[in-house]
Amino acid sequence: MVRPGTIAAVLTSLVAGMATSQAPELAQQYRQRLEGARQELTHVVADFDADALRNALDREEALALQDNAQEPFVRDRARSMRRVIARAEHLERQSARLAELPPVLRPMAVLADPDGRVFAGAMRDFEPAVPLTSHGLVWTAVGLLLGLGLYRLVTFPFRRKRAAKATRVNR
């Protein structure tokens, strides 16, 4: 006969394994969105740089010119363009870092330093997938072990109490 504790341990492990098995898929969907955002922002920055160059300015000179403009709108555009440039650079660095990492480590890199907008979009549109890759199976195995460990940790005081009671009864 299967003990209820064994069933609970297996179920806890399965739930944890299913949850962690999705980490590589989330990282993949995040990377796809990241690349789209990176490419779009790269075009926006390139257009700004081209406009500056047509006017015999480099990027910093063009931004400084906007910063010193009389019109508040033009000054605001300089601030927003600086934010766009900074975000484009951040997305470029993150894209390069994710490309360098082995697939099994990408979920941790995504969670360590995500772009808020890209991550929110990836989470909103996330679709679970069956992990058929080696790194998906690694994450599934990790989840299974974490689930079992969590179950054992939570039930430890009860097992210890039951073992002490059984010892007293057997004496």
What single string gives the DSSP state of each residue in 77-95? HHHHHHHHHHHHHHHHHHH
Low-confidence ranges of the chain (pLDDT < 70): 159-171
Closest to 82 measured CA to CA, from 129, 48, 51: 48
Question: Are 95 and 34 a contacting pair, CB within 8 Å?
Answer: yes
Domains of the chain by residue range: 4-164
Largest CA distance in the chain: 95
Q: Report the distance separating Cα 123 and Cα 103, nearest Å.
A: 19
| The model's pTM | 0.73
Q: Report the distance separating Cα 28 and Cα 168, nearest Å.
A: 55
pLDDT for the residue 29 = 94
pLDDT for the residue 160 = 67
